[in-house]
Amino acid sequence: MAGSRRGWKALRDMTVRHRRHAGLMRGALTLFLLATAALAGPRADVIDRILAVVGHELITLSDTTAAFKLGLVPPPAPGTDRIRATLDALISRQLELAEANRYQPPEPPPAEIDARLEAVRSRAETPQMFAAALAEAGLSEEQLRLRLRDDLRIEAFLAQRFGSTRQPSEQELQDYYRLHQADYTTAGAVRAFAEVRDAIQAQVTAAQRAALINEWLEGLRRRAEIADLYVTAR
């Protein structure tokens, strides 16, 4: 019995030491990355630098450049810090991708990946400009294709998880209509509720779904190990 207790105590002490060691290693890594980012920040000749670490995945300055220039994230609001907004979107995407990888949504058909790639390519005025944008972002076309594949997997996962949101009540639709009548005014005349009801239902449902996803993402951020190394310029 005494030997059993000593064995459990030794195991417990070993576990505590392991957790402390792991915590010290994570802290040392974060401090190293912070120091590296701080040293790299002012230099004009730095090609790339780490902006964030999400779990074990790095997000670099070139990642934000690629996402912005190729239109892979929503455009930042006017007057906001472009890098900050793009980095936040990429952090959220990495959290979503990690969850998608856990649940393994269906693999997107090659035709869907082709269509998404063509949509990105069509944003450039010429094939040469598209190739230049890829080169500036440090991406090959195959790497971009893999990125778009993961985007489709994330969308499939979110559709599975949040696809059956509560349908808004008729009262909620009417309240939305009254609060947003300017959006349904043409040539000074407000369109009848019956004419725009379906559009309002789609908008309210989309807003509810977005709110659920944002709440879920906030929970993921609280639980995840994220080292955000970007300091907004003042």
* Nearest to 95, CA basis, from 148, 49, 59, 146: 59
User: Does residue 21 lie in a domain region?
Assistant: yes
Q: Do 8 and 65 reside in the same domain of the chain?
A: no
Q: How confident is the model at residue 216 (pLDDT cuts 50, 70, 90)?
A: very high
User: Does residue 179 lie in a domain region?
Assistant: no
* Nearest to 70, CA basis, from 114, 128, 134, 116: 134
Q: Do 62 and 22 reside in the same domain of the chain?
A: no
How many angstroms separate the Cα of 74 from the Cα of each of 37, 99, 140, 141? 26, 21, 22, 21
Domain containing 125 — which CATH number? Answer: 1.10.4030
Task: Using DSSP bridges, classify how beta strands 226-228 and 50-54 pair: parallel, antiparallel or unpaired.
Answer: antiparallel
Q: Do 124 and 91 reside in the same domain of the chain?
A: yes
Share of the chain above pLDDT 70, in %: 79
Q: Do 116 and 223 reside in the same domain of the chain?
A: yes
pLDDT, tens only, 156-179: 999 999 987 788 999 999 999 999
pLDDT, tens only, 118-128: 999 999 999 99
Structural contact between residues 66 and 72, judged by C-beta atoms closer than 8 angstroms? yes
pLDDT, tens only, 23-34: 444 554 554 554
Query: Which residue(s) pair with 181 in the sheet?
Result: none
Q: Do 95 and 152 reside in the same domain of the chain?
A: yes
Q: Do 154 and 128 reside in the same domain of the chain?
A: yes
Q: Which domain holds residue 84?
A: 47-164+218-228
Count of the separate structural domains present in the chain = 2
- The whole-angstrom separation of Cα 158 and Cα 103 is 11
The Cβ of residue 234 has, within 10 Å, a number of other Cβ atoms equal to 3
Q: Do 114 and 13 reside in the same domain of the chain?
A: no
Given a cut of 90, whether residue 81 has pLDDT beyond it is yes
For helices 82-103 and 61-69, angle between their N-to-C axes, nearest 10 degrees? 90
